[in-house]
Structure 1
């Protein structure tokens, strides 16, 4: 039998949250007073301290994401904060720092754009860090996706060459810092020439301006082809990305920044002989707590970097944060910090 719950004190009856009232523009994001979510057995209630703002939340607001999303909905696929209430046998204690992400947050159930959120205990990562909330709030989704893509998806090793297509995205920037830490050579793409030097300044070995066809450019740098490629742009360029990889290299399809998730009239023969094609769409469990702890320590010591574009304060600035994500003017993560 599950043990009684442990709480960090009586939570208020109501909280402030950003609610998507209907599919639409930024005006569809409304700040409302709503009931504090009641925690079910096996779930954890978190007092949210910060959260990243992501493209997927923009598509949820527009009504273009998971068809199972219903409205009104509190968005937010990731968040960091402290445990407010949990089962005593969960291993989590009130006040403990935690991160959470994915698993239906902000889609199948209400997410992190709020003072409190409840999530399944299986997608809660305990942590201990002295890093500020605006830094930690940028990490969960992009670090989980980048780490899972490089390990589960590509099994990247020291000495190998990695192509990141969609390099100025938050996952692309995070994957680059992790790949460099592993000891790989990194080629990374941007569609904007002025951002090539930004990539170089972030430690990218070979920034490339992507005009939709980069196979020849990549082969000019690595004639035999790269060992691994992380596809973040999507199916519109996948065939070209496959041509950048050597035999027996691997392409991992993780994202579709250009919006195309499928290929009409797909044939397996579009995959070059000897090249492997896989995909990654993992969950919180794919980022073990000890790995996340090492990443936090590496950040604190300066071995990894968190590409934060801008920090916003309070739920009142969520519309500005989503507008910043949509504009794409500043590479990196947009983070909202909640004031106590």
Structure 2
């Protein structure tokens, strides 16, 4: 028996329960983990409220990220032993597995022996943010030194990961945030420039930063009508990557910038990377190297205890955090 987060109906944070359930032994290709810490993502909030790409089947488990000690391994699993310190790359859909609990099973393909210099909270906060940013900026956009990258919702965990990866590659991270309240913190976290899009002229600022050449990449989890302005400030052969839908309104795509600058507008999910063994291994190698060297480091906004899981979801919904929300066991 172990305490696991579940919910029995769609709703607000109050529907979450920490329940004692029997956790089955790991099946073939699975690893069982005694959890020390869990990462919370926007995806779990959307899953709980019925707004995610998959629908919950009740009673529903949830959770994409966790770090802890290997408790058992299923048949066919190699490279991991009982007692190993590991964390999990999201490589499954919510509903298939759920990592928010004291004892959980996860597919072995997503298990990583993270660098020993990480705290449990940091290990649990790592993989969604850095793998999402890696897949877009490195695997797809192949950003190069000196290129300008616009990072929307930059204070989110993925936004901060994108800032770090962009800097690691010698490119120029430009943080986009709605208002200037988070400007100083984003500069502290490594942004070369910060643009408050509700307070500043996006076109004028990007032209100033790029000497009129426009940005090479825009990385956006929001969408909605503001996308039109972002496409306008991309340069020739610019790439717009949409990786979320916080605004579910249709995208507004202006035709003349699209044609005149030969832009690429592309949807992206990290599962492009994490469900394909070859790019997944490249992502693991890149991120582990960065974590070990210290050039990549997850930023943690706040930690909660397992019994405070509803409060952690409420904090996520407040949108005041800068970085990752982590729940500890």
Instruction: Compute the TM-score of the two structures, normalised by the length of structure 2.
Output: 0.89
Q: Counterparts of 1:221 and 1:270 in 2: how far apart (Å)?
A: 19
CA contact (8 A) 1:162 1:226 kept: yes
1:108 aligns to what SS in structure 2? coil
Q: Counterparts of 1:272 and 1:84 in 2: how far apart (Å)?
A: 55
Pick the aligned partner of 2:302 from 307, 310, 319.
310
Per the alignment, residue 286 of structure 2 pairs with: 291
Per the alignment, residue 173 of structure 1 pairs with: 160
Per the alignment, residue 238 of structure 1 pairs with: 227
Q: Counterparts of 2:179 and 2:58 in 1: how far apart (Å)?
A: 36
1:167 aligns to what SS in structure 2? coil
State the shift of 1:45 in Å: 1.5
Q: Give the number of aligned pairs.
A: 318
State the shift of 1:82 in Å: 2.2
1:209-242 Cα shifts (integer Å, max 9, x gaps): 0129723431232211012221222143222221
- Higher mean displacement: 326-335 or 118-127: 118-127
Per the alignment, residue 11 of structure 1 pairs with: none
CA contact (8 A) 2:220 2:242 kept: yes
1:182-261 to structure 2, matched below 5 A, reads: 182-211=169-198, 214-222=202-210, 223-257=212-246, 259-260=247-248
Distance 1:261 1:122, change over 3 A: farther
1:151 aligns to what SS in structure 2? helix
State the shift of 1:133 in Å: 0.6
Q: Counterparts of 1:120 and 1:268 in 2: how far apart (Å)?
A: 43
The Cα RMSD (Å) is 2.2
CA contact (8 A) 1:83 1:98 kept: yes
Q: Counterparts of 1:124 and 1:310 in 2: how far apart (Å)?
A: 24
1:90 aligns to what SS in structure 2? coil
Pick the aligned partner of 1:163 from 146, 150, 153.
150
CA contact (8 A) 2:62 2:95 kept: no
Q: Counterparts of 1:103 and 1:173 in 2: how far apart (Å)?
A: 21
CA contact (8 A) 2:231 2:254 kept: no
**1:279 correspondence with 2:267:** yes
CA contact (8 A) 2:90 2:127 kept: no
CA contact (8 A) 2:232 2:257 kept: no
State the shift of 1:262 in Å: 4.1
State the shift of 1:124 in Å: 1.9
Structure 2 unaligned blocks of 5 or more:
none
2:66 aligns to what SS in structure 1? strand
1:140-180 Cα shifts (integer Å, max 9, x gaps): 10011111111122111112111112211111111101111
Instruction: Compute the TM-score of the two structures, normalised by the length of structure 1.
Output: 0.86
Q: Counterparts of 1:128 and 1:161 in 2: how far apart (Å)?
A: 30
